[in-house]
Amino acid sequence: MSLLFVFVDGVGAGRPDPAVNPLAHQPFLLSRFADGSGAPLPAGGRAGLADAQLGVAGRPQSATGQATILTGQNAPALLGKHLLGFPNPRLRALLEVHSIFRRLAEAGRRAVFANAYPVAYLRALGLPAEGEPEFTIHRRVRASATTIAFAAGGGTFRTFDDARAGRCLTHDLTARRAEELGLRLPRRTPEEAAGIFLGVARGADLAAFEFFETDQAGHARSMPRALDALDRLDRFLRALVAGLGPEDSLVVTSDHGNLEDLSTRNHTLARVPVLGFGRAAGRVEAVRDLTGVAPLLLELAGAPAPPAAPR
């Protein structure tokens, strides 16, 4: 019995207008719209929409949105604002204490993070990493919310050597981006990447993967980049759904809107989709805002729920 969690950066529920919304071009699994409409999901999947603004004025941002997803705490309310980019000291402290990965470890559960990391990046952050660095970093690096949250649980980060061996995934699923940087990795289809993720999840209570090219395409206001990213992601997700066992679950969500409105390069106030398949299907519609994601993931993975989020 495994829980797969796919975090997709920067996808909200907008208007079904193909002029500005790439999600309106095809019936992608994430093609959910502000009016609650969207194509039927396969295999009994269900979809809900969650508030990303969390009662705090302004456009939702990555650092606070992701911290909320990964802890169940209302990070924007804690700071009194939405914070873009990387977590500040208060958010780092929140993630280190309340991370779902830490709670899983404390409950004796096993979690894996399926993204491949550069050895040089991990070492620059002071995190252990085996193997030779692929390149030299000459600037200060900062840790993302997902990196801080997973480190808080004491898990082992996977590297490009693991990706070469089929033990994890590159962030773009296919390894095309790594190849463009001069790194030699085997090219894979999104379906092959799904097979690897399903394999990584076996024996784990929670397996997580982060996909952020959707947010990058939104900031670039690029319809071709958005459709390319969505095509790869959708093929990956559909293959995951097809490969779920009878007791498995898949949860997919995002941290804020962006891609659904290419008329602006900024984040939006849109609610975000929450998709559930397998055992999660009947639960996602109850996730009203981003603070509800962590309790759902912890329950499905067999760990205690986080304390009540502050309001």
Taking only the tens place, the pLDDT of each residue in 62-88 is: 999 999 999 999 999 999 999 999 999
Q: Quick check: 52 pLDDT over 60?
A: yes
249-253 and 272-278 as β-strands: parallel, antiparallel, unpaired? Answer: antiparallel
Give the helix ranges, DSSP H, for 51-99: 62-71, 75-79, 89-98
Q: In whole angstroms, give the CA distance from residue 5 to residue 209.
A: 6
Would you state the pLDDT for residue 233? 98
Task: Please write the tens of the pLDDT for every residue from 185-194.
Answer: 999 999 999 9
Q: In whole angstroms, give the CA distance from residue 214 to residue 202.
A: 27
> Which domains does the chain carry?
3-301 (3.40.720.10)
Contact 8, 216 (CB under 8 A): no
Q: In whole angstroms, give the CA distance from residue 257 to residue 9.
A: 8
Q: In whole angstroms, give the CA distance from residue 114 to residue 308.
A: 28
Report helix, strand or coil for 116: strand
- 192 by Cβ neighbours in 10 Å (0-12 / 13-18 / 19+) ranks as middle
pLDDT (average), residues 171-175: 96
